[in-house]
Structure 1
Amino acid sequence: MVRTSCGAGWKVRNARGRMRLEVQDHGSVMLIYPWSQEGASSALPRIQQIFKRWNGGQITLAAAAQKADTSSSHQKLDFNKLFETYREFVPNAGDTTWRYNYLPVLKNLRACFEGKPPVDGVALAMVCLAQWEQGSRMRQTSRQKLYGFLNWAVRRGYLKSIYLPPATLPETLKPKRIGYPLSDSQILQLLENLPGGELHARWRFAIQLCAVYGLRPEELRHLVIKDGVSGPELWTIYQKSMGGTKGAKTEPRRLHPLFLRDGDGTAIDWKLQARLQLGEQLPPLNRDGDGGQALNQYLRRRKVWMALRGEAKRLGEQLTPYSFRHRYAKQMHAANVPIANISEAMGHTIEVHLKSYARFKPNATADIVAAVNI
C-alpha cells in the first residue's frame, strides 16, 4: 500500500489494522497509522524520516524511529491515534476502566502538547495530575495509568526519552479515611424505612447481602452458587487488583454469613442464599466496575442514610457503601474469630486487613485496666 522509495527490503504490512514497518534483516517497528489510504498518506513522511536517520543500518531501526518522531514537532503527533494504539496494548482494561481511569489523564497529556511541551517527565506528570487531590486514590490511579503510557510511548519512539516518568514525584499524602461501621440496629432501621415496590425490594436484597456477607458492592454482580462437599455454597467469583504486584488479583472465595441480630439479640436469617438459588433479582448496577457508585446513588436518596452520614461525620468517620462490609469486619472481631479466618472470609490478605481493621482487634490494654478496676 505504501511506496516508501527507501530501497529494497523496506515493506509496510497490515498488523491488525495498523501499519508495521519491516526492514529485511533489521526487524520492524509499529506505526500509529491505520491501514488505510488516509493512513498511508500520513505515514509516508515519517517512514522517509526513519530511512534518513537509519543511514543504511548505522543505528537500529527502533532508534531511527525514535529519532524521526522526537525530532519533529509533537504538535503534529496524532494523540487520538496514539491512544487507540495504546488501547490495544492494554487489552485487559475494560471499556469502563479505559473511559474513567485512562482517558482523563491521557487527555490532560494531549493538552500539554497543544502548546509549548513541558520540559521533562516531572513537569509533564505534575501538569497531567494537577486536577486530582494529592494523596487521593484517583490521583494514585491516574498516575499509574499515565506512567504506563509514558513508558510505552518512549520505548516505541513516539515521545522523547526526557518524558520518561519520574522515579518519584513530590506528593502530600492524604490521611486514610476512617470507614464507619454500621451497627445491626442502624442497618435494620435503614431497611425498615425503604419504600415499597419491586425496585426497592431488589435494593433491600442487595443491602442485606452486603451486610450479612461483608461484600464489596461490586461483588453483587459476581455471585454464584457452587456444589460444595456439604451441599450448595455461595461464592463470589469477582477478582480485583491486589496492588503492589502487576497483574495480581484476588481469588474467588466462598462466602460465610454473619447474621444481623435484632434488639433482643436474636439472629435474623433472611435465607439469602436460598433466595438467590430461586432466582430473586438484584437491582440494576449500571456499568461493569461501578456497583459501588450505583448503590451509593440509591442510598443517598434515603433520609435515614443521610442522617447516618451526619452521625459518622461527627465521629470523624465516613459512611459509604463499604460500611456494610465494615460492619462485617467489626462483628467478626467482636466474636473473636481469628484474623486469618476473617481475612479469608473477606477476600484479602492479613496485611491488607490489618491496615483497615486493626482498630477492631480486642484491646488488651482495656482488658488489663478493666481487670484492675474489679
Structure 2
Amino acid sequence: MSATESWVKEFRYAIKSKIGSGWQVSNDRGNMRLLVGNKKEGFSSINLPFAWQKDQWPDAFDFIRIGAEAYLESNKKIPLKTAFKLTKQTSTEIQLDWERALVNYRKANSFAIGEATWKKKHLPVLEGVMEYMNRTKHKPENAKTLCKKVLNEYKHGQYKKLIGWQFGTQMRRHMRISLNKFLNYCVREEDFPSYWLPPELSMEERLSNNQVKTNKRIGYPLTDFQINRLVEAFDFNPDNEQAQKWKFAVQLCAVFGLRPEELRHLVIRNKHSKKPELWCTYQKQNSRVRERQLLGLKVLDLDGTPFDWSEGLIGRLAAGEKLPEIPKGKGGQNLGQYLRRRSVSGCWEVLCHEAQSEGLELTPYSFRHRYAYVAHTRPQDDGTMRSLTQIAEAMGHDPDTNLKSYARFQNKNLTKVFDRVG
C-alpha cells in the first residue's frame, strides 16, 4: 500500500469515527472536497481550502470538525457553505499577518540572499503575494489558488505591463521557487495553517520544467586562435585606458577559466616569493567551494606555442595592473556590454556568427567554456589526461556539476576510438 493511500485511509477513518458516517472527503483536482449526506437523501458538497496532501489533513480535519458542529447545531437548516464560511472567519486565517511574515522572512535570509538577488528573483513574485492577500475581497483561500494567481495573472514589471511569468522559462522557475520558499517559511516559522504550504507541481508545470532544462543554452567554447583575435581587437585603440583594463580581464578569464564575477575576487598570495600564487575568494551561492588557487591553461597559437600575452599574467596583477571596476553581481553583464561596444564589437560580432554557425551561442562565459574544453582534451606534458576531480577543483565546482556541464567535452575525441566507416 502506498504512503498516499495510508494517510487517506487514516484521514477518512478520523472523520467517520469523530464526526459521523455521513461525512466524506475526496480529491477534487488536487484540492480537498467535502461531501455530506447519503444516497437516499442526496449529497451536498463544498471545496475546502486545503490541498490533497498528506501534511494538510490534520488541519483539514480540525477545520471540518468545527464546520460540522456549526452545521449540525443548526439542525442542517443553514447551507453547508454558510456553515463553513463562518468557520473560515473564526479560524486562524483572520490572524495571518502577511506583511510581518515578509519582513521576518527577509531578515531571516539577509545573509543567504544578497540584495541584488532579492530584488531580481524574490521581490517581484512576493509583491504579487502581498497584492492578492491584502485585498478586502476575493482573496485566495489556499496556496494552490494563490500560486495560480501570482504566477499566471499578477501584473508586474515596468508600468505593470507584464502578466505572470511564461511557462517554460527560467524566470518562471525562479519565481516559483522563491514563492515556494516563502510559503514554506510562513507555515514552518510563522505558524500559518498547513493549507498555505506550496502545492505539488501540476502536470503543466512539470512539462514546463522539462522544457527549461531542454532549452538551456549550450555555451560555445572559444578556440585559442579566436581568443587571440579578440585580444588583438582591443589594441585598435591602445591609448584607451578602459579598453586595456577589459583586455586584461579577458586574458585572465581565458587563461584561468574565470567566471566574469570572479574578476572582483582575485588576490595574490606569496607575492614576494619567486612563485606568487593567484587565488580566487569568490563563493558561489549554495557552493561548498570557498576559495581556490587559480591554475592556468595557456592560450596557444596554431603551431602550439603560447601567445606572449598568455604568460606572466600573475606578475602583471602583482605589479598593480588595473582591472575594470565591476559592481557586485554585474560581472557577466558588464563584460558582455563592453564586448558589444564599438571598440571590439566588430570582432565580437564575427565570433558570435561563428558560434551560431555551429548551433551554439557566444557569451561572456565562453572564455570559461574554453578553459573546460582544453582541460578535458589537451594532454599534460607527460601525455596523461587530467582527472574529472582535478578539473572540477580548478574550476571551483564539484565533479557532478562538471559532469553535468562539460560531459560533452569528454566525448570530443569519440571518433578516434571507433572504426571509420565510409
| TM-score (ref. length: structure 2) | 0.64
- Percent identity, aligned pairs only, is 41
Residues 136 and 273 (structure 1), Cα distance of their counterparts in 2 relative to 1, 3 Å cut: farther
Q: SS where residue 122 of structure 2 aligns?
A: helix
**Deviations along 1:27-82, whole A, 9 cap, x unmatched?**
xxxxxxxxxxxxxxxxxxxxxxxxxxxxxxxxxxxxxxx9776226x7xx573x54
Which structure features the higher share of helix residues?
A: 2
Give yes or no for contact 2:377–2:412 (8 Å, CA) kept in 1: no
Q: How does 1:1-374 map to 2 (within 5 A)?
A: 70-71=93-94, 79=99, 82-92=101-111, 93-115=113-135, 116-130=138-152, 131-157=164-190, 159-169=192-202, 170-171=205-206, 172=208, 173=210, 174=212, 175=214, 176-194=216-234, 195-196=237-238, 197-227=240-270, 231-242=275-286, 248-268=287-307, 269-286=310-327, 288-301=328-341, 302-335=345-378, 336-362=385-411, 365-370=414-419
Give yes or no for contact 1:70–1:157 (8 Å, CA) kept in 2: no
User: 1:230: how far off?
Assistant: 7.7
User: 1:255: how far off?
Assistant: 0.6
User: 1:187: how far off?
Assistant: 1.2
User: 1:153: how far off?
Assistant: 2.1
Residues 250 and 167 (structure 1), Cα distance of their counterparts in 2 relative to 1, 3 Å cut: farther
Moved more, 136-145 or 301-310: 136-145
User: 1:186: how far off?
Assistant: 1.2
Residues 156 and 254 (structure 1), Cα distance of their counterparts in 2 relative to 1, 3 Å cut: closer
Give yes or no for contact 1:69–1:157 (8 Å, CA) kept in 2: no
**Deviations along 1:251-303, whole A, 9 cap, x unmatched?**
311111101012332112341111111121111212x2221111112122222
Residues 304 and 126 (structure 1), Cα distance of their counterparts in 2 relative to 1, 3 Å cut: farther
Q: Which has the larger radius of gyration?
A: 2
Letter in 2 for 1:178: I
User: 1:304: how far off?
Assistant: 1.9
Q: RMSD value over aligned CA atoms?
A: 2.7
- Matched residues in 1 for 2:358 and 2:284: separation? 30
**Deviations along 1:202-229, whole A, 9 cap, x unmatched?**
1111111110000111111111112399
Letter in 2 for 1:121: A
Letter in 2 for 1:107: E
Give yes or no for contact 1:235–1:254 (8 Å, CA) kept in 2: yes
Residues 67 and 314 (structure 1), Cα distance of their counterparts in 2 relative to 1, 3 Å cut: farther
Residues 137 and 226 (structure 1), Cα distance of their counterparts in 2 relative to 1, 3 Å cut: farther
- Matched residues in 1 for 2:147 and 2:313: separation? 48
| TM-score (ref. length: structure 1) | 0.72
Q: SS where residue 317 of structure 1 aligns?
A: coil
User: 1:114: how far off?
Assistant: 4.8
Give yes or no for contact 1:334–1:362 (8 Å, CA) kept in 2: no
User: 1:363: how far off?
Assistant: 5.1
**Deviations along 1:100-144, whole A, 9 cap, x unmatched?**
222111112223335422342223223333444444443333323
Give yes or no for contact 1:70–1:158 (8 Å, CA) kept in 2: no
Structure 1 stretches of 5 or more lacking a match?
Answer: 1-65, 243-247
Letter in 1 for 2:133: F
Q: SS where residue 260 of structure 1 aligns?
A: coil
Residues 362 and 223 (structure 1), Cα distance of their counterparts in 2 relative to 1, 3 Å cut: same
- Matched residues in 2 for 1:132 and 1:188: separation? 41
Letter in 2 for 1:285: I
Letter in 2 for 1:84: V
User: 1:340: how far off?
Assistant: 1.9
User: Match for residue 10 of structure 1?
Assistant: none
Letter in 2 for 1:177: R
Letter in 1 for 2:109: V
User: 1:356: how far off?
Assistant: 1.0
Give yes or no for contact 2:98–2:133 (8 Å, CA) kept in 1: no
